[in-house]
Amino acid sequence: MKIVYNKKRKGFIAFVVMFLLVVFGLMGISYWYTSRMSTDMLYVESQRLKARNYAQAGIEKVKLNMCNMCQRTNKYDMRLKASKAKDFSKEFSDGGYRVVSIEPFSVGNKEYLNVKHMVKGRLIGEFDVWEVTVEGYTKNPKTVVEIKHIIRLYRDTIVY
């Protein structure tokens, strides 16, 4: 049996193979690029969530300190002084939180301090409303998240 070559199609298979190699190479490069970009975006998003969790931990620390201060000292003015800000801040190996401000909540000129707490027409105590601002941060990459939180602090008398 004799193999007959078609002179017109000589080199056609090499051209098709090269074309397919280029197409699959471009598809592989685009897959690698999108995979790398989504991995970077996921890492940045995870750091933002970590910073948010640190800020939420700062809010919880402020709540705990406010309750303890009211129970121990009967001091009800919790405005944050610049020197006290260090007491409310915490540093971890990869981030931390800073308490930016603790201010009375106000609408217009009215501050919500020592507001009467009434239940069914009876005065049972007072409450304050505080606005707390905390920044959570991570170190690498540098991400900062600020959370503002409203805390209502009740000081009720026991009614039998």
Which pLDDT value is given to residue 112?
84
Are the C-beta atoms of residues 56 and 136 closer than 8 Å to each other? yes
In this structure, what token pair is assigned to residue 29? 């490069």
In tens digits, the chain (160 residues) has pLDDT values of 676 666 666 777 888 889 999 999 999 999 998 888 888 889 989 999 999 999 999 999 888 888 877 777 666 666 766 556 667 788 989 999 999 888 888 888 888 888 888 888 888 888 888 898 999 999 988 899 999 999 888 877 776 6
Distance CA 77, CA 128 (A): 9
Positive/negative CA dihedral, 143, 99, 61, 111: negative
Which pLDDT value is given to residue 82?
52
Give me the residues paired with residue 96 across strands.
Answer: 91, 137
Distance CA 149, CA 88 (A): 15
Which pLDDT value is given to residue 80?
65
Total domain count, the chain: 1
Question: Quick one: which H or E segment has residue 55?
Answer: helix 12-73
Residue range of the domain that includes 45: 12-156
Residue 53 lies in a domain: yes
Residue 69 lies in a domain: yes
Residue 7 lies in a domain: no
Which pLDDT value is given to residue 52?
95
The number of beta carbons lying within 10 Å of the beta carbon of residue 147 is 18
Residue 63 lies in a domain: yes
User: CA geometry: angle at 90 spanning 88 and 95, to 5°?
Assistant: 140
Residue 77 lies in a domain: yes
Q: What is the DSSP letter of 86?
A: G
Tokens 């409310």 belong to 88
Question: Quick one: which H or E segment has residue 140?
Answer: none
Residue 74 lies in a domain: yes
The number of beta carbons lying within 10 Å of the beta carbon of residue 47 is 20
